[in-house]
Structure 1
Amino acid sequence: MSPRELIVLGTASAVPTRQRNHNGYFLRWGDKGVLCDPGEGTQRQMSHAGIAAHDITTVCITHFHGDHCLGLPGVIQRIARDGVPHDVTVAFPNAGRAYFDRLRWASEFQPTDVIRPHPVAGSTPEPFGMPSITALPLRHSVPVYGYRIEDPSHVRVRGDELAAAGVRGPAVGQLKSTGSYVTDDGRTFLLDDFSDTVQGMSVAFVMDTGVCDNAVELACGVDLLVIESTYLESEREYAQRYRHLTAMQAGRIAAQAGAKKLLLTHFSERYTIDDGALFAREAATVFSGPIVVAHDLLRISLR
C-alpha cells in the first residue's frame, strides 16, 4: 500500500502559545497531499516536518476564523514561488468566498495559475478530488464544513474457497466481472457468496463545532477521527457558548460513529502540554478505542 500518514502542524485554537502553533494538518495519501486548515506559521511548520509545497494537491478550509486560514496566503505564495506545476484544489465554504478571495490575493507576489477554488455549499455537497473528499456542514458561529477523505471500497474475492470448489484462473476473472460463473457441469457460483466488501481507508476532520449529527456522519467508521476538543468538561459552559467541543463530547462522537482511532486537537490556550492526560482521560470515559492527544509535529501512520 502506498504511504498514508497524518502530520500535525499545529494544535492551538484561537491563540497560539509557546508550546502550540496554530492549527494545521497535512495528510499524505500516496502521491497526494491534503493540507487542512493552515493557520499562522504553517509554512515554517511544514519546513520542520519536511513537507514541500510540491507535496500539496488539495487544501481544505473548514471555515474562515483566523486560526484555520491565516496561513493560506503564505502557502499559496510558496506554491507560486516554488513553481508547483500541478493543480492545487482549495476547498472552502462558499459563504466565505469573499474571505477566500482576500486571502488568495493578500499581498503582492508573482501569481500562479494552478490554484483551483472549490467552494462547497448546501447540506450534502458532491464528493470531489482524488482521494475522494466529502464535505458536510457542522454547527458553529460561522459557516463551517467538516471533511472526510477516503479511498473507495473494493471487493475482495476469497480465492482459497473458490479454488477448493474447483474454480480457478479465467473462471475467477469471469466471476469478478459478471458476478456469476456457471461450470460445464451446471454448477452456479455467485460473487456475493465468495467475496467481501472491504472499506477503503478513511480520515475525518471535524473542527470548530458543537455537537451535531453531521459530525457523527463524517466520522462513521473512519480509521482516524481528527476532532477539536477545545475544552475539558469543567469548561463545558464555554464550549456551549462558543459552539466548541469538550474532550468528552469529542469522545462520544467517536463512539457513536464507530471510529477506529481518535485524535484530539485544537486546545484552548488555557491548557498546557502537561494537561494532555486530562483530555485523554475524559474522552476515554465514553470511547474505548485508541486515543491520541495531538502535539505539534506529531506523525501518525495510517497503514
Structure 2
Amino acid sequence: MSRRELVVLGTASMVPTRTRNHNGYVLFFDGTTILFDPGEGTQRQMTLAGVSATDLSRIAITHLHGDHSLGLAGVVQRISGDGVQHTVPVSFPASGEPWVRHLLAAGAYDHYERLTLQPLSPRSAADGAVVVPRVPGERDAPGPGETRRDASVLTARSLDHRIDAVGYRLDEPDGVSFDPAALAAAGVPPGPDVGRLARDGVLTLADGRTVSRAQVSAARPGQSVAFVMDTRLCDAVHALADGVDLLVIESTFLHRDVEIADRFAHLTCRQAASVAASAGVRHLVLTHFSQRYAEPDELPLAFEREAREVFDGEVTVAADLDRVPLPPRRREVVTGRR
C-alpha cells in the first residue's frame, strides 16, 4: 500500500537535549525510504519509531558535521547485522568522503552490508543541481488506481555552510490515474486490459470500439519534498523549496539571534518561513533547533508564532518521533516546478 510520510527521529542541532536527539529523518515515499542525516543516536531512535534497517533504501547526508552524520556508523552496522539483502546507496558531498569512510570503519563488525558510496559535486553542474544516481532495482511502486510510473528523481544542490553541504529534493513525475467509474462506463474490464491501455494509450474492445487513455483517466500531479539543512540563505535554498508539497528545513535560531545565525551559517525561523512563503510551499516542517531555547516556553511556541508571522500554510514545529504525512495531492498539475 502507498505510504508517504516523514518520520522525525531527532530535532536538535549541535547538542542533544533531554527531549531532543541529534538530527535524523526518514522519508517514506512509496517504494523509496530515505534516511536523511543520521546524527548520533539514530539507531535507537529508529527502534523507538518502529523503523527497521530493512526499510531503508537509501541514506542521504547533507554534510559531515557530527550532528548530521555520527549515527552513520551504528546504522550501517545495523544494516549489516540485520542481513539487509538489497544495496543501500549512501550520498554525501564529495569532499566528505574521508569522514564517511572513517565512520564506516569506526568499529569492528562483520561486514555483510551492501553499500554504494555516491559522492556528489553539485558545484560542477551547469545549473548547480545534480541527479543522485539510482542503484539497480531502486524504483517507486505505483499507488492504488495509478498507472505504472517512472521513478521519482532525487536531486542535490550545493548550500552555503561552513563546510561543503548539499540540500536534497525528491520529485515525482506528473502522471495519470485511472478512474474506475470511467473504465466501467467505457466497458474496460479490470485486469490485463487496463494494463494494456496504460502501456499503449489506446485499447480496442471485443466489440470493435476503441478507448483512449485520456477518456478514462485524470491528471495525477506529482508530489515533491525538499530537505534543507545547515545553510545561509542562498539561491539553492529557494530552488530546492520551489513549489514543494513538504519542506523540511533547518530553523536553528529565532530571528532575534540572526547575527549568530549568519556567523555560523544557519537560518532563523523567520528566514525559513519566508522561503516557504515565497516558494509556495504547502507544508513547512521546522527543525534543527539550538539548545539555547527553553521548552516549552520558546520551543515550540515562539518558533510557531514567528513562522506564522510570514507564512500562512501548514506549519509543524517538529518534535522527536513526530510523523508528518504529505499533504493530499493537488488537483491540478503544477507547472514551472524546478
Q: TM-score, normalised by structure 2?
A: 0.79
- Counterpart position of 2:276: 254
Q: TM-score, normalised by structure 1?
A: 0.87
Distance 1:162 1:10 in 2: 45
Given that residues 131 and 153 in structure 2 are in contact (C-alpha distance below 8 angstroms), is that contact kept between their aligned partners in structure 1?
no
- Counterpart position of 2:306: 282
Compare 279-288 and 290-299 and name the one that shifted more. 279-288
* 2:256 aligned counterpart, secondary structure: helix
- Counterpart position of 2:254: 232
1:112 positional shift? 2.5
Given that residues 19 and 272 in structure 1 are in contact (C-alpha distance below 8 angstroms), is that contact kept between their aligned partners in structure 2?
no
Given that residues 182 and 217 in structure 2 are in contact (C-alpha distance below 8 angstroms), is that contact kept between their aligned partners in structure 1?
no
Distance 2:215 2:268 in 1: 45
- Counterpart position of 1:29: 29
- The aligned length equals 296
Compare 84-93 and 129-138 and name the one that shifted more. 129-138
Task: Return closer, same or farther for 1:195/1:219 CA change in 2, 3 Å cut-off.
Answer: farther
- Counterpart position of 1:115: 115
Task: Return closer, same or farther for 1:175/1:49 CA change in 2, 3 Å cut-off.
Answer: closer
Task: Return closer, same or farther for 1:178/1:81 CA change in 2, 3 Å cut-off.
Answer: closer
Cα deviation, 1:158-217, whole Å, max 9, x if unaligned, reads 9999999xx9869x999987889xxxxxxxxx9999987543122111000111111111
- Counterpart position of 2:163: 142
Cα deviation, 1:31-78, whole Å, max 9, x if unaligned, reads 331100000000100010011110111000000000000000000011
- Counterpart position of 2:87: 87
- Counterpart position of 1:184: none
- Counterpart position of 2:227: 205
Given that residues 269 and 307 in structure 2 are in contact (C-alpha distance below 8 angstroms), is that contact kept between their aligned partners in structure 1?
yes
Given that residues 252 and 286 in structure 1 are in contact (C-alpha distance below 8 angstroms), is that contact kept between their aligned partners in structure 2?
yes
Confirm or deny that 1:98 pairs with 2:120.
Answer: no
Task: Return closer, same or farther for 1:284/1:28 CA change in 2, 3 Å cut-off.
Answer: same
Distance 1:272 1:217 in 2: 33
1:110 positional shift? 0.5
Distance 2:109 2:196 in 1: 57
Distance 1:27 1:52 in 2: 13
Task: Return closer, same or farther for 1:223/1:136 CA change in 2, 3 Å cut-off.
Answer: same
Task: Return closer, same or farther for 1:117/1:192 CA change in 2, 3 Å cut-off.
Answer: same
Task: Return closer, same or farther for 1:116/1:257 CA change in 2, 3 Å cut-off.
Answer: same
Q: 2:321 aligns with which of 284, 297, 303?
A: 297
What's the Cα RMSD here? 2.8
- 1:154 maps to amino acid: G
Distance 1:255 1:193 in 2: 37
Structure 1: gaps of 5 or more residues: 181-189
Confirm or deny that 1:271 pairs with 2:276.
Answer: no
Structure 2: gaps of 5 or more residues: 123-127, 140-151, 203-211, 329-338
- 2:83 maps to amino acid: G
* 1:273 aligned counterpart, secondary structure: coil
Task: Return closer, same or farther for 1:77/1:199 CA change in 2, 3 Å cut-off.
Answer: same
- 1:203 maps to amino acid: V
Given that residues 92 and 120 in structure 2 are in contact (C-alpha distance below 8 angstroms), is that contact kept between their aligned partners in structure 1?
yes
- Percent of matched pairs sharing the same residue: 48
Task: Return closer, same or farther for 1:8/1:177 CA change in 2, 3 Å cut-off.
Answer: closer
1:30 positional shift? 2.1
Compare 192-201 and 3-12 and name the one that shifted more. 192-201
1:127 positional shift? 4.0
Task: Return closer, same or farther for 1:50/1:157 CA change in 2, 3 Å cut-off.
Answer: closer
Task: Return closer, same or farther for 1:194/1:278 CA change in 2, 3 Å cut-off.
Answer: same
- 1:124 maps to amino acid: A
- 2:131 maps to amino acid: E
